[in-house]
A = this chain, B = another copy of it.
């Protein structure tokens, strides 16, 4: 059975040595944040994830969720109890608004905790994860009364939440959605329609489920301009705001999926269900998109989480499994064979996964830190920069990290040979669970289109210009440092290649938008590689300084080795992406649709 050990050392390195999260204490809400508090939380979270959640991961995969004839759903053995422990320990409240019972801790700390929960048990982590999305939507769009009614219970974990967007005929293109809302005299609405792929749609872990539902008010315009957002509680609230009468919403069935079996992915049927409008009529998507950007970063984190746990298990296996001899002579002479970690191709797969995980984690936490600053700083220029970076990097974090997580989980499974294909060993589950992250919250192709079609051009390309200037300044500052030469030159190469790609897009994407579309995924990967080059340069700087200051901790020298691997063995891919992109739309679009 697979195991999980939270990468606490790497997390602390990022939180303290790279990001200096204690600096967040300058903002009122984070005034209590210091190194000790952060360490204590990371360590407690590690324990909770390793001891409570990880042992249930395989159970969830094997048992899945069960829908009963009355529409109720039972989660896998142990999930309900684990959720109770989670609630009691306050994990659901960690980053939430203290005005509604939250602990008000930084989002960057939450992302570290969420990464651990996801590595330990992705299907489980989605129940509180979706609730977080719903909390965000109510926070952004809800009235003071709605916030007061729903947020405290949801933050405490007593109630969970869901996001109801997709219908069978539309997911990406929400303008097509048909679920309808009919205004009632009392100001509420009757919601009718059917939603699919609703994660955590029905389960037995909480007293109530607060569904956030996109629907079209009778008579509203067609398309995206006629979509409103509603709160539809599973149980309507009685006069004391406790769950009372059953609302007209039921789980019609549970989807049979490739992975995340422990999460109940439901078809939700709304039949004159009572709903309450959030925000303005026909402005539902605006609220939804605020929430979705955060969710997209969370999905990038899920990719990292699966890649990390797959890596750990593959390392263990590669150290234990004896098979063949090293090409350079036996390394385990007294044994019947060498451990397969001696083989360069096994190393290659492990090193690629490691370099992506550590680089991806840095990018993710760095972005989360920018979000904390954006929300709490009064410095307009700084807030603007944070907002720019988040806009630019959200599709990269979602699209690039999950694309790469698919490859790394497959590579880690490959290290197991035939045993990787057998469910008993658990590697298949990491691959199957990671698969969804490329798809939901906007398929990765949509992320790439969002990047090249929207985020890149916003405010005259300001976000990328600011980031490029930051990178240039970093290179200028450190290129004289001989120990940093590989990192600064690699970073410069990455940034220059990216710039060529950006220029090409500017010159060719306007005249024919299909040029941008055809190169969008390549460009997203280029920005991913460039971003990770920057993260690696930042990490190398700190690691090198620690060594220069006399540290013997091998953590630092290993960091440099891993970073150099990234530059030499992974960054070259950026040139292939540029070449493919520059071939333009013509080869991609030349075949007639009917000729496929």
Binding site for B on A (CB under 8 A): 166, 169-173, 175-176, 196-197, 255-259, 315, 318-319, 322-324, 327-328, 336-337, 339, 341-351, 354, 406, 410, 413-414, 417-418, 420-424, 428, 431-432, 435-436, 438-440, 443-445, 448-449, 453, 512-514, 516-518, 520-521, 554, 558, 561-562, 564-565, 568-570, 572-573, 575-576, 579-580, 583, 585, 587-591, 593, 595-596
Known contacts A348-B521, A443-B417, A565-B590: A514-B576 contact under CB 8 Å: no
Contacts of A445 in B (CB 8 A): 343, 345-346, 349, 414
Query: How close is A315's CB to chain B, nearest CB, in angstroms?
Result: 4
Contacts of A558 in B (CB 8 A): 591, 595
Contacts of A169 in B (CB 8 A): 322
Contacts of A197 in B (CB 8 A): 418
Q: A258-B421, A354-B596, A564-B587 are in contact. List 9 more A-B contacts (CB 8 A).
A: A169-B322, A173-B337, A255-B424, A318-B596, A327-B517, A345-B518, A410-B435, A554-B595, A576-B576
* Cβ-defined contact, A418 with B440, below 8 A: yes
Known contacts A256-B423, A595-B558: A517-B343 contact under CB 8 Å: yes
In the complex, what distance in Å separates the CA atom of A554 from the CA atom of B592? 10
* Cβ-defined contact, B431 with A418, below 8 A: no
Identify the closest chain B residue to A326 (Cβ): B514
Query: How close is A455's CB to chain B, nearest CB, in angstroms?
Result: 16
In the complex, what distance in Å separates the CA atom of A343 from the CA atom of B440? 18
In the complex, what distance in Å separates the CA atom of A516 from the CA atom of B520? 34
Task: Return 12 A-B CB contacts under 8 Å, by A number.
Answer: A169-B322, A176-B337, A258-B431, A319-B593, A343-B445, A344-B588, A351-B591, A414-B444, A414-B445, A565-B590, A568-B587, A575-B579
Identify the closest chain B residue to A427 (Cβ): B258
Query: How close is A172's CB to chain B, nearest CB, in angstroms?
Result: 5
* Cβ-defined contact, A564 with B590, below 8 A: yes
Contacts of A593 in B (CB 8 A): 319, 339, 341-342
